[in-house]
Chain A
Amino acid sequence: MAEKEKKEKPKIPRQKMPEQEPKARAKNFNEVPFGYTPELAQLEASRCIQCKKPKCIEGCPVEIDIPAFIKLILEGDFIGSARKLKERNSLPAICGRVCPQEDQCEKVCIVGKKEEPVAVGRLERFAADWEREKGEVFIPEKAPATGKKVAVVGSGPAGLTVAGDLILKGHEVTLFEALHKTGGVLIYGIPEFRLPKDIVQAEVNYLEQLGVKVECNCVIGRIETVDELLKEYDAIFLGLGAGLPQFLNVPGENLCGIYSANEYLTRSNLMKAYLFPQYDTPIARGKNVAVFGAGNVAMDSARTALRLGADTVRIIYRRSRDEMPARIEEIHHAEEEGVQFYLLTAPIKFLGDDNGWVTGVECLRMELGEPDESGRRRPVPIKGSEFQLECDLAVVAIGAGPNPLLPTTTPGLELNKRGYIVGDLETGKTSKPGVWAGGDIVTGSATVILAMGAGRKATNSIHDYLMSK
């Protein structure tokens, strides 16, 4: 037995990315992982067995040729690798950081059947960062001008993808953004320590270099309606995101110090309130912070609170650990940094002081019952289990819905009963001629890569439409 082991080639373990120490990083907003060195990247790339029938490509919503880009890293052609990525994914530096790889490419990786899967996301990030940092961003040739004009509404992942793809096909593209900065959730939602904002800015700069016209401060539905845009543009893509915060609907929720995650993260990320008073936007800095929900946004909020000086940060979630929707890495990072998890716990009311500030939250313990319509076991309250937790800051991160501002000012745009735009999942076509939609505004809150996948499908459909017009 011992002899047989000796004969086997020693296996290379999945390579970790060097990262900031938990104690140090919980006090700053710098990015947590430093990324692979070229040596680490090539070592990790050598773990890929270059399957003849790779499963990982199918596992990727935009079907990146994963074995090919990894092979180029192994061969030391890092720039070539980045270009290979960009054939299918215009935002690899972003996706390498925020994709839930464990549910996509890495989930179906053949290597992963016997050992840990190849770290596709970390390799993607490495190649994209290399290209950007070496200043060798490749500007591809555009197709000859078609004379067709497209308006893209919303500059998040879906909108950026559509804008980047359609400009290459020779169409004129204008990207409208309601906020004063482009990037959508990549700018207002995801914190600096997880996705540095200069990376997002670099992607937008790249689109502008390609010739995309960017117009910020344009709330479509107010400054121009979709019908008005249709007079000027041949096609419109709506990538509005899920811009309506959901609240718990429990008593006391309008006390001061209770934020929606959207507000908390927008203040910190978009408005840079973590740099107050150098930046003018204030943000409440709690000592005892309660965060409701257990998705990526909840982890981002909890970790932001730590960095803003909280002593205690608790994630309060009504289901159990198995149902937590966040990426494994985010949960892991949050735990390392000292975020506490109060699972199977649901808030029933907030407590406040005379000035209207939150002082605590009353909760109930839950147990898991029968599976509900989502297939997850339904949390059931345990009678008489009420207890109180102190908190001087609370963040509600239980999801977001469709913002009605544009849909309600656009006649002929069919919505489903939850208020999302009805869009064909294969083409992004809506009920309104000349109008496409994709990303969270169609599917509800999902991931950056799914929004990009939806954008890609819409691009093809819009292009066919424009060329046959």
Chain B
Amino acid sequence: MYKITYKREMAENTVCHFKVDAPRIARKAKPGQFVVLKANETGERIPLTMGGTDPSNGTIDLIFQVVGKSTALLRTLNVGDAIQDIIGPLGKPTHVEDLGTIVCVGGGTGVAVMYPITKAYKEAGNHVIAIIGARTKDLLILEDEMKAASHDLRVTTDDGSYGHHGFVTDVLKKILDEPKEVKLVVGIGPVPMMKFLCKLTKGYGVKTMVSLNPIMVDATGMCGACRVTVGGKTMFCCVDGPEFDGHEVDYDELVKRQRAYLTEEKASMDRFKEIGR
């Protein structure tokens, strides 16, 4: 059992931040890695990226958006409650090196995934420009944290309620048009965002890494639920990723595979609303 020691509702109560007691995972986890959790006996195994770790206190940070039954159920838990199973750290850590100038782009809850990675790139000596975006101001998360983790933070909202009015790709394009050479772009967010971001950076010939979040079950390379096509080859996101060369990913396939259980997810959510568990 993994005890929740801290809980904060974010982004108009659609995103939730937990600190969870998991000392062994906290000690081992590196930026870019994730955990799989199962909230209770009847729960499903869902992958969640860690928004950070605190090895001295033995906790990991889980930041998740309520998107279905499992995350809705998770949000009903409070400080002192426990998550039945947490498995991790899983996946390959981000390959962090000093490259020069890099741009870290986070959209929606992807910002949570991006935060520890951004911090690591800055600590490695890079000049880090960060762009974070959300649909509207109230949905924006981790602005202060991202400001501290980068040298230069730009903010966008789709509706113009805060920061730049438009998409993260608009701001990224401006940066890429500047004379300063960008060595790497890291993009994490909804699949359409990553797809269009990669379309843009490909035109500029700038290497781009993305972090993918397909459906997983065991997340140790045993089942193949998370297979993604990268560079024409089938990869298992859980062990070969979650980060891949964004220019090589088949996003259309990824979206279709992510939607494989929409009917079941809806039935599950409706049942949860009715009976509350």
Contacts and interface: CB of A to CB of B under 8 A. Distances in A.
B271 A281 contact: no
Interface in B69-103: 69-70, 73, 84-90
Contacts of A243: 220-222
Interface stretch (B12-20, B53-61, B196-204, B261-269): B261-269
B253 A282 contact: no
B10 interface: no
A267 interface: yes
A245 B268 contact: no
A432 interface: no
Interface stretch (B107-115, B146-154, B182-190, B224-232): B224-232
A247 B234 contact: yes
A282 B234 contact: no
Main secondary structure of the interface of A (DSSP, over half): loop
Contacts of B271: 277
Given A271-B45, A271-B217, A260 B260 contact: no
B85 A217 contact: yes
A12 to B, nearest CB: 46
Nearest to B42: A279
B216 to A, nearest CB: 10
A332 interface: no
A265 to B, nearest CB: 9
Contact of A404 (B45, B85, B221): B221
B120 interface: no
Nearest to B40: A280
B276 to A, nearest CB: 14
B28 interface: yes
A363 B220 CA distance: 32
A389 B202 CA distance: 40
Interface residues of B, number: 41
A254 B229 contact: yes
B38 A403 contact: no
A403 B256 contact: no
A281 B220 contact: no
Nearest to B225: A263
B229 A223 contact: no
Contact of B253 (A180, A272, A356): A356
Contacts of B221: 243-244, 403-405
A222 B88 contact: yes
Interface in A166-225: 178-180, 188, 216-217, 219, 222-224
Interface of B: 24-25, 28, 38, 42-45, 69-70, 73, 84-90, 217-218, 220-225, 227, 229, 234, 239, 253, 256-257, 259-261, 264-265, 267-268, 271
16 contacts: A180-B45, A217-B85, A219-B220, A222-B89, A222-B90, A223-B25, A244-B222, A245-B224, A256-B256, A259-B225, A263-B224, A267-B217, A277-B267, A280-B70, A281-B45, A282-B44
